[in-house]
Structure 1
Amino acid sequence: MVWPFPPKTRKQIARIEITGAIAADTRKRVLKALEEVEEKKYPALLLRIDSPGGTVGDSQEIYYALKKLQKKTKIIASFGNISASGGVYIGMGAQHIVANPGTITGSIGVILRGNNLERLLEKVGVSFKVIKSGPYKDILSFDRELTEAEEKILQDMIDISYGQFVKTVAEARNLEVETVKTFADGRIFTGEQAKELGVVDRLGTEEDARIWAAELAGLDPEKAECRTIEEPRPLVSRLLSRSQLSSPMGRTLNWVEFELATAGQPLWLYRP
């Protein structure tokens, strides 16, 4: 029989990393990597998550792609230093989850933030004339306070998003919705606590997760290779991004960029 791809991939474990804040670039990269896992028929996937979460829509698209891949591939999620909020949501797309005892996880919930610069603008003498088609067209505008009606509209939207999050966790972890709600109040907890709550299956390292993935796929853990799939980038670009992320200024700039890009959007995000 002639395989469409080298049979070597059938004896390998694919590995995908999700690090940092989840946004459009993360979604595009991960979805492309998941397509490769499916096309090359990897029997198992090790999903390494070290993320505080991010945008709702991008997290949901990654989750749905993982659920689809579950039909063909064994998926084990490994929670790293932090896997919170949207990071947890994505982890629900795996059949099994491993976390370190000290992993920071949880923060199940939704947050939406806007900036109100009304007082500052008054001090510098700046005002805006707004022509709009409806009373809520400029909701979350930075030059005025929210009205009570606007707050209710946004709260209803947040509640619906929260309900989606809770339902997904309940279904993925075989828990009752009301049980999930007892700890899905935005609080963070350790990997050890997550196991007690039923959010993760086992405590252990990424290597423990790799061994489990190999076993589920019927592979010899000592012989099965683990291949990290990532979008090819020029060497200079990789080196620059690593140096930027390793510096406090680089991390600050990345967060500022993320905050500006997602202002006014509901987020599944833990931001200490």
Structure 2
Amino acid sequence: MSKRTLFVVGGAILFVMVLFLVSVQIAKSLIGTDSESKLVAGEGVGLVEVKGMILDSKDTIRQLRYFLKKDDIKAVVLRVDSPGGVVAPSQEISDQVAKFAAKKKIIVSMGSLAASGGYYISAPASMIFANPGTITASIGVILKLSNIETLMDKIGIKSYTLKTGKYKDSGSPLRQMSPEDRAMLQAVIDNTHEQFVRAVAAGRKLPVEDVRKIADGRILSGEQALALKLVDRLGTLQDAVEEAGRQAGIKGEPEVVLPPKKKLNYMDLLVEGAEGSFKNALGQAAGGMKLMYEAE
């Protein structure tokens, strides 16, 4: 290899390395630091936001635990704007909200949508505010499956499955669902739905039978939810902040404090990217089967 070629290759490698390091620094600056962000002057109300699909619980739990440990944060407002999501993360966040409410006040402020899993995580709070037009409730469980067996036959592709039990490939898109499959999956859904009903009844201090009557997946407006005691008051985010301040005994307008953003380095980015890819691969291998607390 000539000296010129070595020089070109070396220069290219150096350029790529510099570009990578610069990209990492930009990413880290966009992600943020560990410093708090304060919105107004005064004393301490934390603000935790849950937006979009609930697919993971770690960051929300981290923020709630952060505020729980801070003596100068007297209460927290949990802003929920979510159609729900996967069952287990919704349950984990709900459990952390209940633990928070046992020690400090936590006031939920519902945005445009706080349904299914979004309602599940709200139920244990000290108080729930909704806007009159908020879409909420949708107390139910859904499992969506597809079947592509006919398509596979049309394009001439055959699939073969080796398994250890008759239920191991239940829900597979590559074969018809048997009556036994349907009964087994329905039992899982019914049990998970009952968990939702009990969680709402406990969080809202309502009779289980009263909750069960409306736990058919129906959505409700904020006004309807208020009439059914699923929320406590109609009001905005600012109303929820002011109420949190009053319940925490803060005089005057409370200071709203955002939690510190999670600080990542380039190794975290690489590992989390690989982890996400691995989870996606596992999900596809399992036929994408996920129980969801999700509003349709």
| Partner SS for 1:82 | strand
| Partner SS for 1:200 | coil
Determine the structure 2 residue equivalent to 1:229: 259
- AA in 2 matched with 1:33: Q
The answer (yes or no) to whether the contact 2:172–2:287 under 8 Å persists in 1 is: no
- AA in 2 matched with 1:266: L
Determine the structure 2 residue equivalent to 1:21: 53
The answer (yes or no) to whether the contact 1:29–1:231 under 8 Å persists in 2 is: no
CA RMSD of aligned residues (A): 2.2
Q: How does 1:145-164 map to 2 (within 5 A)?
A: 145-164=176-195
Deviation of the 1:15 alpha carbon: 0.4
Determine the structure 2 residue equivalent to 1:140: 171
Query: Structure 1's 49 and 264: CA in aligned 2 closer, same or farther, altered over 3 A?
Result: same
**Are 2:105 and 1:80 aligned?**
no
CA deviation vs aligned residue, 1:142-189 (integer Å, no higher than 9, x gap):
111110001001101011111010111111112111111221100101
The answer (yes or no) to whether the contact 2:171–2:287 under 8 Å persists in 1 is: no
Determine the structure 1 residue equivalent to 2:63: 33
Query: Structure 1's 36 and 78: CA in aligned 2 closer, same or farther, altered over 3 A?
Result: same
The answer (yes or no) to whether the contact 1:43–1:72 under 8 Å persists in 2 is: no
Equivalent of 2:208, from 177, 199, 224? 177
**Are 2:220 and 1:189 aligned?**
yes
* Largest Rg, 1 or 2: 2
**Are 2:233 and 1:202 aligned?**
yes
Equivalent of 2:81, from 34, 39, 50? 50
Counterparts of 1:66 and 1:182, CA distance in 2: 25
Identify unmatched segments of 5+ residues in structure 1. 1-7, 235-258
Deviation of the 1:233 alpha carbon: 6.3
Identify unmatched segments of 5+ residues in structure 2. 1-37, 265-282
- AA in 1 matched with 2:61: L
Counterparts of 1:126 and 1:33, CA distance in 2: 49
Deviation of the 1:230 alpha carbon: 5.0
Q: Normalising to structure 2: TM-score of the pair?
A: 0.76
Counterparts of 2:210 and 2:260, CA distance in 1: 37
Query: Structure 1's 75 and 130: CA in aligned 2 closer, same or farther, altered over 3 A?
Result: same
Counterparts of 1:201 and 1:112, CA distance in 2: 31
Counterparts of 1:231 and 1:55, CA distance in 2: 23
Deviation of the 1:221 alpha carbon: 4.1
